[in-house]
Chain A
């Protein structure tokens, strides 16, 4: 069975601090995909990144970076120099070759001015 754990229910940081959101997954598949999504207070869901299980390279996109470690089954997300607009609920998700998606419970990030 697939499972995604986001142990941090809520995180509060002050603007300009760096923050890391943890994601730990479980799967028996050798081919799988990991995702991060953002849900701001307005409610829409925004796709942030997809990573496949064969690519353990870390990725950086502006202030966002992702650290994928197969050895620890983790796919952590770091926001550098956080901004108020980063306040949102962030979901990590796991997919077995693009079919069934399993989401974590989400981490609510509050960035205070």
Chain B
């Protein structure tokens, strides 16, 4: 158990809808990272937050947004969902900007 929690575990929704994925980092970790893993694209880095501030942006679509709250938990918002957004979404946390500890992931299915 990495100490990182993600909710929900599974999410099934329809195209065009909006969903929010939640991540609680390990106690004391200031960095939160979001990743998408799909069969087509492999593992892709989406975005990183450090102590509430956006630190780095990867291949995140404009339909997606994220934030990190004062209590350091983070939410990834996915809107106008398309079939191709179906994937496993991982959150990771770490102290500083290097090591990462991953949550169990949220499996999103868009129908």
Interfacial residues of chain B within 52-110, with CB under 8 A of chain A in the complex: 55-58, 88, 90, 92, 96-102, 104-105
Which size bracket describes the interface of B in this complex?
Answer: 20 to 34
Is B43's CB under 8 angstroms from A100's CB? Answer: no
Q: Which residues of A contact B105 (CB under 8 A)?
A: 43-45
The answer to whether the Cβ of A63 comes within 8 Å of any Cβ in the partner chain is no
Query: B102 near A44 (CB under 8 angstroms)?
Result: yes
> Of residues B43, B55, B92, which shows the largest number of chain A Cβ atoms within 10 Å of its Cβ?
B43
Of the residues B43, B100, B101, B104, contact of A106 by C-beta under 8 Å: B43
Which residues of chain A are within 8 angstroms of B97 by Cβ–Cβ distance? Answer: 97-99
Is B33 touching A101 in the complex (CB atoms < 8 A)? yes
Question: Number of contact residues on A: which range applies?
Answer: 10 to 19
Q: Which residue of A lies closest to B44 (CB)?
A: A103
Contact code string A28-49 (vs B, CB < 8 Å = 1, else 0): 0000010100000001111100
Given the known inter-chain contacts A101-B45, A105-B42, please indicate yes or no for A50 contacting B33, CB distance below 8 A.
Answer: no
Residues of chain B from 26 to 48 with CB closer than 8 A to chain A in the complex: 33, 35, 42-45, 48
> Residues of A with Cβ closer than 8 Å to B?
33, 35, 43-47, 50, 91, 95, 97-103, 105-106
A43-B104, A99-B55 given; name 12 further pairs at CB < 8 Å.
A33-B98, A44-B2, A44-B102, A45-B92, A47-B101, A50-B98, A95-B98, A99-B97, A101-B33, A101-B35, A102-B45, A105-B42
24 contacts between A and B (CB under 8 A): A33-B98, A45-B90, A45-B92, A47-B99, A47-B102, A50-B99, A95-B98, A98-B96, A98-B97, A99-B48, A99-B55, A99-B97, A100-B45, A100-B56, A100-B57, A100-B58, A101-B33, A101-B35, A101-B58, A103-B42, A103-B44, A103-B45, A105-B42, A106-B42
